[in-house]
Structure 1
């Protein structure tokens, strides 16, 4: 399958109308929300505490995610998603008409009620937003689609915030804001009318209108998924915990630590949003157009590192009589270190969050996907509320400074990530595989679309180095169960990867009959479950770079489990550090180019050792 840039999706009706719909929705939410905050701060004469009203706004927008996400998850399973999105977007027009009236008449209670209604609409839209992607996109497009959604969402948030500030600066702000929110809502509805049909996953699902009972059931369903999915939800929510802390503290940090005005807040928000967008875009290229959860530990490391750098470079910023504007801040070298740290947090946040969303979507059953995403949204909201409580405790009770708060949450990130990666070692295993494939080797792929997208198959390949399984596992989109010589299986460090990946250790029949028999039983079990099994029929690493005689183990496997056989060949690995080539040197072969080539599947009745050896040799060619 030829990889394409994720931007090609923007030319597809399967994706573009949905992308525009969700982008305009995020843009509109933030125009209204930011305008309301600025109205409270600068335009309205009110007797209530303005700080209380600002926090009330935050509560009113996030509360519906607790109350109605479960209902949105049920709707997403029971009804066709395209029709549901259009209904939600039509409701946005009605809500924004009320919001426009509130702005025009300076009616604060009405504007607060509209803000709650906006949060309700977003809570209902969230489960559909992420569950519709796997219905319209191919598996190899899922990471790119999520990357575009994340990029569009954060840029829309930024654009909405900036546009609200520009409109509120004028004397005719009410007319501008009222017109803008209604026009954008109408445009969002028009875009939603172009979304292709997305059938209901579980139309017979009975609706439970008890929002508290159903919220609890939905959360239990989400956290009761397989560990990779449930801990991905925790990791996803932890990202929103971190993001909420950073975004909430940026205004005060800009004022108190950079001695800046409002333009400095906008500058930092812009840099952070660009970082998220850039990380999301790079994620697809770095993941090889597949769901690569190995990027999650990479993103986590970056979040901690740049959080520590932000703390380190804060403090002692030059102060002037007047607050600095954004150009004044940029005239100091220290500001570039701070902005670089903010950019790094956003960039690695993109590496962290996109694979988690893609994993949740790809590994959840279609008839449960909307409700699992609803559970994720409930958990996100909970973590965001906890982030506010933690910030208050550290800043007000423990009397830490804002940079010290950044230090604490960066260290907390180490603890949370360590827990997730310990419970689901697949994250760490895939990270090591990804690291190997992007440091010592550059792996070129050819013909891998011959490997079936689903169902059982046996892959046979030549055996050149100790890391053959890692390179193949990192290149093939589907999980693979490898069969390898038990002494290689037991190698330190690599054993962790092999064990986590479900590798099958095997010994010679005369060497250890128990290991030998157990291996074939496990292989049969994997194939009955419809998985891919990869074997190295030579039974050992090559000692001279040439392909040795294929042993009869593959024929025994096929006699018991007649499945297709895909011949493959590794090219260019002989002489690398992990091969048995004499005189090899590690640094001479750093980032060396190797190839993985697959041929057409062979029917099980035709798959004899001699034929497979001839085909693997032909695929490898002269490049040992």
Structure 2
């Protein structure tokens, strides 16, 4: 992976990634056939050489595989695709490890010949079936054009590697993402070494019980990968990265709390607690890495995507190699136990977490808010096909509760900059939150209002989504009141469509003006807690609205459609 990273990147860019994957899988079949001959001949050096060839084949395969994802699926599916591939890959590692042990037992008689030579045909059938299956799967991939067919390879492999790393470094954000993902792989390699040491000297269990500990960690990563793909839902959810990092740090430290075990009487409780914390550690790691992989693939320039991914592979496997000497330094010269190394790893991940949050505070807060909202509300979004994926948008909605802006800002696929009265942001912590949400404040005074409206217009001209509640205040009775026309001035000359949005289900909630003081509403809500159903209905775009009443009536019609659906559902439920 290290020596051939640059050449593999060149191959993935110069030729069709489908072609590269097919040739790699064909080479895998030939290597497996040759390896069977080396095993039967008992030639250990040939086995080492073939193992090197298998690693070389993988070095060419990986950049083509991951680089092909953005070429096969649409942009909004890149993160879910990475989650699925990561989950399947980790499950394949578990299955392969188990199958390897089974094949060893079936083909080896202790003290009689080399391992694997007894009933060798069982291993031959299993390995050739897997290799042939991979080749057949690669042939099913659709045609993919070469990203950069004019590219030429430099004869200096070392120089080409440095150029690949330089290309990655020139894209600062991509380099930081590659660095974070490399940290993940290095930490994973160190965890593998420490799990073996932890099982031997802390849990005092046999080697047979060490395998399940590694397996549960990998299974956790697989589950985390799949969960990250589900949560992403059509976007690259970078907010998962700090949440995953926090989970890694916390669970690595919590491994230190596992009860000590005696060599004479190993503790079952200690073993099962270790299994649990390793599973949680793997789950967090899976959440951490999927968004990073998806970001690297989507944001890399198409003509050099293979090279950038190969440079990332060089960094990732470099980190894996560094895990061994770092583990040795921590355990031998410094004399740390496996428990203490896990704590050090957790503290190191905490530093990474702080660095990540400082780089992406908005994505982090957005995901936390979404989790809190979904904890208390069952939100359904209708008409999302009317919401433009690109370009300027003026979002206009009715105003039922203090939660309205959070719902739209967090759950819609694009970030919304709301026009808000500055009086709502008097406290320092509220001002910090306003900065995170990129609100456009309106200060008292005619001149200040004009300046705020101009700022909103500049946001539209920059292709952003601007949101407004034209009623100017919360509805006192749940009805849609008169709209102020200021938003019409904002859209003038921007060619931004007005997207009407109707919010339903929030009247009567804790954050609305219904049913008296908020304290009593909170107490009543806690007494009979259930997730409140909320509807966000998006209507068709309105181009050049006649006046504010035109937009208001469009939102009212969206609400009438909701009432009609509710009446129809009630009639169907009550009619025999």
Q: TM-score, normalised by structure 2?
A: 0.86
Equivalent residue runs for 1:297-336 within 5 Å? 297-317=242-262, 319-320=264-265, 332-336=268-272
Task: Identify the residue that residue 134 of structure 2 maps to in structure 1.
Answer: 188
Matched, 1:583 2:517: yes
> Across the two proteins, how many residue pairs are aligned to each other?
546
Output the CA distance in 2 between the equivalents of 1:300 and 1:340. 18
After the TM superposition, which of the residue ranges 263-272 and 173-182 deviates more from structure 2?
173-182
Give 1:294's match in structure 2, choosing from 234, 239, 263: 239
Task: Answer yes or no: is the 8 Å Cα contact 1:294–1:433 preserved in 2.
Answer: no
Output the CA distance in 2 between the equivalents of 1:356 and 1:570. 34
> Offset of 1:86 from its aligned partner?
0.7
Computed over aligned residues only, the root mean square deviation of the Cα atoms, in angstroms, reads: 2.8
Task: Identify the residue that residue 210 of structure 1 maps to in structure 2.
Answer: 156
> Offset of 1:401 from its aligned partner?
0.6
Matched, 1:595 2:535: yes
Task: Answer yes or no: is the 8 Å Cα contact 2:453–2:490 preserved in 1.
Answer: no
Equivalent residue runs for 1:147-186 within 5 Å? 147-169=83-105, 170-171=108-109, 173-174=116-117, 175=120, 176-186=122-132
Output the CA distance in 1 between the equivalents of 2:226 and 2:354. 26
Output the CA distance in 2 between the equivalents of 1:261 and 1:315. 16
Equivalent residue runs for 1:411-490 within 5 Å? 411-488=347-424
Give 1:342's match in structure 2, choosing from 274, 278, 301: 278
Output the CA distance in 1 between the equivalents of 2:547 and 2:17. 49
> Offset of 1:567 from its aligned partner?
1.3
Task: Identify the residue that residue 617 of structure 1 maps to in structure 2.
Answer: 556
Output the CA distance in 2 between the equivalents of 1:118 and 1:452. 47
Task: Answer yes or no: is the 8 Å Cα contact 1:280–1:350 preserved in 2.
Answer: yes
Output the CA distance in 1 between the equivalents of 2:281 and 2:487. 49
Aligned in 2, Cα 1:549/1:408: closer, same or farther, shift over 3 Å?
same
Output the CA distance in 2 between the equivalents of 1:559 and 1:279. 47
Match of 1:197, SS state, is coil
Output the CA distance in 1 between the equivalents of 2:154 and 2:468. 50
Aligned in 2, Cα 1:359/1:470: closer, same or farther, shift over 3 Å?
farther
> Offset of 1:128 from its aligned partner?
1.8
Give 2:490's match in structure 1, choosing from 548, 557, 561: 557
> Offset of 1:109 from its aligned partner?
2.4
Output the CA distance in 2 between the equivalents of 1:367 and 1:532. 30
Output the CA distance in 1 between the equivalents of 2:208 and 2:546. 69
Unaligned runs of 5+ in 2: 110-114, 564-576
Output the CA distance in 1 between the equivalents of 2:180 and 2:157. 25
Task: Identify the residue that residue 259 of structure 1 maps to in structure 2.
Answer: 204
Aligned in 2, Cα 1:574/1:224: closer, same or farther, shift over 3 Å?
farther
Match of 1:484, SS state, is strand
Match of 1:150, SS state, is helix
Task: Answer yes or no: is the 8 Å Cα contact 1:235–1:417 preserved in 2.
Answer: no
Task: Answer yes or no: is the 8 Å Cα contact 2:459–2:465 preserved in 1.
Answer: no
Task: Answer yes or no: is the 8 Å Cα contact 1:99–1:178 preserved in 2.
Answer: no
Deviations 1:593-623 (A, max 9, x none): 3221111222x23464212111223324578
Task: Identify the residue that residue 329 of structure 2 maps to in structure 1.
Answer: 393
Task: Answer yes or no: is the 8 Å Cα contact 1:98–1:110 preserved in 2.
Answer: no
Task: Answer yes or no: is the 8 Å Cα contact 1:314–1:338 preserved in 2.
Answer: no
Output the CA distance in 2 between the equivalents of 1:541 and 1:362. 41
Output the CA distance in 2 between the equivalents of 1:481 and 1:265. 52
Match of 2:42, SS state, is coil
Aligned in 2, Cα 1:499/1:104: closer, same or farther, shift over 3 Å?
farther
Match of 2:290, SS state, is helix
> Offset of 1:251 from its aligned partner?
2.5
Task: Answer yes or no: is the 8 Å Cα contact 2:454–2:490 preserved in 1.
Answer: no
> Offset of 1:258 from its aligned partner?
2.2
> Offset of 1:413 from its aligned partner?
0.7
Output the CA distance in 1 between the equivalents of 2:427 and 2:400. 16
Output the CA distance in 1 between the equivalents of 2:431 and 2:51. 53
Equivalent residue runs for 1:91-110 within 5 Å? 91-110=27-46
Output the CA distance in 2 between the equivalents of 1:364 and 1:542. 47
Aligned in 2, Cα 1:507/1:260: closer, same or farther, shift over 3 Å?
same
Give 1:145's match in structure 2, choosing from 72, 77, 81: 81
Matched, 1:570 2:511: no
Output the CA distance in 2 between the equivalents of 1:554 and 1:121. 59
Q: Which runs of structure 1 show a deviation greater than 6 angstroms over 4 or more consecutive aligned residues?
A: none
Deviations 1:277-303 (A, max 9, x none): 222222333344533222222222221
Give 1:199's match in structure 2, choosing from 124, 142, 145: 145
Aligned in 2, Cα 1:440/1:235: closer, same or farther, shift over 3 Å?
farther
Deviations 1:490-511 (A, max 9, x none): 6654544543454433446616
Deviations 1:28-65 (A, max 9, x none): xxxxxxxxxxxxxxxxxxxxxxxxxxxxxxxxxxxx2x
Task: Answer yes or no: is the 8 Å Cα contact 2:239–2:363 preserved in 1.
Answer: yes
* Structure possessing the higher radius of gyration over alpha carbons: 2
Task: Answer yes or no: is the 8 Å Cα contact 2:460–2:466 preserved in 1.
Answer: no
Matched, 1:247 2:174: no
Match of 1:551, SS state, is coil
Q: TM-score, normalised by structure 1?
A: 0.80
Give 1:282's match in structure 2, choosing from 219, 224, 227: 227
Aligned in 2, Cα 1:464/1:237: closer, same or farther, shift over 3 Å?
farther
Output the CA distance in 1 between the equivalents of 2:242 and 2:436. 16
Match of 1:574, SS state, is coil
